Chain A
Amino acid sequence: MRESLNNTFVKNSFAAIIIALILVMALSACAAPATRGSFIEGDVSGGEAETLNWILAADASSFGYVGYTLESLANYDNKFDIVLRCLAKDIEVTPDGLVYTLTIRDDLKWSDGSQVTAEDYVYTLKNLMFSDWLNYNYKDDWQEDAGGKKVFVTPAVVDDTTFTITRQTVQPEFIYTLYNLIPYPKYIAVKYEGDVDAFTRAKEFNDLSYTGNLGPYKFKQWLKNDKYVLSRNPQYFLGRDNGAPFFDEYIVKMFGTSAVMQAALDAGDITYCGIEPQNVARFKKMQDINVYTVPTRGYNIIAYNQRANGWEGLRKKEVRQALSMAIDKETITKNIFLGFAEPAYSFIPSSSPWYSDNTVMKLGVAPLNDKQQAMQLLRDAGYEYAKNGDRDILLGEDGKPVKLLMVTTPGSDVVESMSLLIKQELAAIGIDVEVKWVQWPTLLRQYMMNREPGTDQEPRYNNGPRAVSDETWDMTLMAHNTDPLAPSGSRVFFASDGGLNSFGFFNNRVDQLFQKIRSEEGMNKDQRSLMYGELARVISEEQPVDFVTYTRANRGFQSNVKGIEPGINMGYNYYLWRFE
């Protein structure tokens, strides 16, 4: 009997323990992942931010640094779908495309506990970003041409959480500017209003002590050229339900060289960094590292100088096409980028929703990578060939062999290899290319900036069709970026009045299309898509530049980091990343 009772007791106790264990396990499974450890992101010194007082920033890193502590109104996932952040609902646009209504969440707080209101956003726009005294770098984003005058859009408060922005002209891509908006706290900013020195040195803005619950992390320390340290923000408005973020600290660590940075990833001293193409295979073999290859916004171009001080042939569309046709993009992507790039044909990256693969002219890739056809195009354009031994030499209009000067900057193995390949490819169609390496400031001042000869014009990057640079040049190799959601920003390069149209490309049809995209006609997304398709077609046919490759980036993470969604905007959900 006693034994039986004992047995029953033991059995019951055992069952109770099992049930308790199951309950504990179930509860832990339901609970948010435990926060632990420091996530250390490696970066090289050139990528260091300049300021946390973001309104003064011109560099992208500064906005990135601030973004850890201060969410914008919305951002995008890898499919470019909008993900709301400080917005309570998506922006409403009136059918005429002129009035935007923005409604922010009502649970956003500054560090003093006061609510972030629509008034803070409107104040930031009107009194800071649009002010004369502060000289906001990107004020162009908020200006429009109305009756020949450049004017700012008009913000207005509706209530605590709602404000409107009214335009006088339609600009369908203006909405993407709005999504990026972040506010300054009016209660602090008013103290410094009108005094640019005081605003620049304001402690609260330089140590981000005002950010309240607006970001997943809070500022902790910034030692320049070394590290930017953020600590977990337990009040983060998007972490209320799930306990995010899940790292105690988020650190951006600067390295002097990428070699040491990658050694640090290899040794496990850092959690994440970019990996150069030549090292990807080695890292992919490591069990502790996951490497993700993702598209980027970047592309490489060869710009043809169509101004009066470039070779006259470059002013003919057929000649530019012939040159681009001779340069094999697949060899560049495979042999120079080791497969971490793809041939480019347009200023719109292939990852962009506005990219149209069927309208662009695919020069540089078979069947339009053909040296014989390229030579024929040059003959059709009126140029002749002469024999020099076994070699065909292209003769210019003056009967002399054509020799082109390609100017680029030193310091990159990729650029060096590309330059040599381009030289080799064009030699095969009878054109000698001399490569000249100059430092970036020299490239800008001597080759890209231009002015009309005989005038006292101040040199600019585009002083009109008659302007020329101080030094003569024919081609330049450069890297550019495009916003995949609003590629019309590239008008700075390709429109006749584009501020960076240093190569002198002037085409009415292109100007009209850029204008149409940013007009009422562009409000309809299908129409805009067609316009972008047409624009990409015209530009690829005109070939003012040879779009060489779209680059891909390799991101290496320690394998215990979970929650990563690889893609073009893979950081969009970084506050949900965790260690496992």
Chain B
Amino acid sequence: MRSYIIKRLIYSVIIAWGIMTVTFILLRLGPSSPVDRYILNIAARGQDVESVRQAIEARYGLDKPIIEQYFTYMGNLLQGNWGWSFSTSQSVADLIVTHWIYSFQLILLATIFAIVIGVGLGMLAAVKQNTKIDYAASIFSFIGISIPGFWLGLMLIMVFAVYLGWFKTYYDTSYPIWSLENIKQLLLPVLALGIGELAGYLRYTRSAMLDNLRKDFVTTARAKGLPEKTVIGKHVLRNAVLPLVTIIMFDLGSVVFGGAYLTEIVFGIPGLGQVSFNAIFANDYAVVVAVTLIGTFLVLFINLATDLIYTYLDPRIRYE
């Protein structure tokens, strides 16, 4: 097992390096330049666009050949220097250290919320199949899957912040991360991000549970006189949860890369999603490459974790 993990980690580093190299080169070969966004401002000041472009590119070393820029970047990276973000005027490392927590808390809470409620409701709906509870859960999950998180976020703000005044219209970074006020103000963003996932988990859990409930081992367990709680909780759920883990881990990857971004935008949460989105529009290469690299490692780590969780959930699975 240990050699398997080491091998996977080595592969991860190689894959991440490949993705980083491709991102680095594509960004510089792309049609845009950091100066594009200033053109109208430069023009409004009656300036020569070309001289401003040259000044900016020279200052940040963007006028050098790509290969030279690449080796300089790699050299710095190996020394732990992620570069300088010219669109935020701080080091990329500082930028990430400051902002990751805002994304992390949102994704963590939304995922916990979606798993706990989604799996719980899914189990309930399966056990109470074809009852009012099952129908209500199905309707709820259809609505949850259909509503875009962006729109739901706006509606939650309009109702709970503007009309009822229970919350602020935006996320307030003045509150300490571990304070109750912070948890309270995360309620709406967590709902906006988590409802869609929750609805999905509800559907998957219900259908996986129903699949397993019909299997012979359940009949045997019941025939042996095991209490229903044990049958459901120990035998059915454990078998149903395996495909669910794949889906949850896959979702986690997509939330990290995109889903949380829209929620961050709507609620004004200054997380990594916003940082990377703004960096893309500003052609802030150092930030884009760093965030891509972190995202790549996260997804690779999530994949590895999924594989390892399988071995725990299903002892028949072994990696050599």
Contacts and interface: CB of A to CB of B under 8 A. Distances in A.
A and B part of one assembly: yes
Interface of A: 45-46, 48, 50-53, 56, 58-60, 134-141, 196-197, 200-201, 206, 223-227, 253-257, 259-260, 263-264, 266-267, 269, 297, 440-442, 444-446, 460-461, 479-483, 486, 488-493, 499-500
B43 A441 contact: no
Q: Which 5 A-B pairs have the closest CB atoms?
A: A489-B46, A256-B265, A441-B32, A481-B44, A51-B89
Contacts of A201: 84, 91
A499 to B, nearest CB: 4
A499 B162 contact: no
A227 B173 contact: yes
B130 interface: no
Contact of B39 (A255, A260, A444, A488): A444
B51 interface: yes
A500 to B, nearest CB: 5
A471 to B, nearest CB: 12
Contacts of A226: 173, 268, 270
A59 B266 contact: no
Nearest to A482: B44
A479 B39 CA distance: 11
B275 interface: yes
Contacts of B55: 135-137, 139
Interface centre among B33, B40, B170 (most CB of A within 10 A): B170
A58 B56 contact: yes
Interface residues of B, number: 58
Contacts of A136: 55
Contacts of B45: 138, 141, 483, 489
A264 B170 contact: yes
Interface of B: 30-33, 35-52, 54-56, 58-59, 84, 86-91, 95, 98-99, 154, 157-158, 161-162, 165, 168-170, 173, 264-268, 270, 274-275, 278, 281-282
B206 to A, nearest CB: 34
Contact of B165 (A59, A259, A267, A441): A267
Contacts of A140: 46-48, 51
A306 to B, nearest CB: 18
Nearest to A63: B41
A139 B48 CA distance: 10
Contacts, number: 172
Contact of A499 (B31, B49, B98, B158): B49
Given A136-B55, A480-B44, A461 B161 contact: no
A224 B46 CA distance: 29
A446 B32 CA distance: 11
B32 A137 contact: no
A135 B278 contact: no
Given A48-B278, A59-B37, A139 B51 contact: yes
A59 B38 contact: yes
Contacts of A141: 45, 47
Contacts of B170: 253, 255, 260, 264, 269
A45 B274 contact: yes
A269 B37 CA distance: 30
A213 to B, nearest CB: 24
A224 B31 contact: no
B173 to A, nearest CB: 5
Contacts of A48: 278
B49 A259 contact: no
A260 B31 contact: no
Interface centre among A201, A263, A482 (most CB of B within 10 A): A263
12 contacts: A48-B278, A50-B87, A134-B59, A223-B98, A224-B90, A256-B268, A263-B169, A264-B170, A442-B31, A483-B46, A492-B49, A500-B39
A256 to B, nearest CB: 3
Contacts of B168: 264, 267, 269
Given A225-B278, A442-B31, 4 more contacts: A137-B56, A200-B84, A256-B274, A500-B49
A484 to B, nearest CB: 11
Contacts of B43: 480-481, 492-493, 499-500
A56 B47 CA distance: 15
A444 B40 CA distance: 11
B162 A263 contact: yes
B98 A256 contact: no
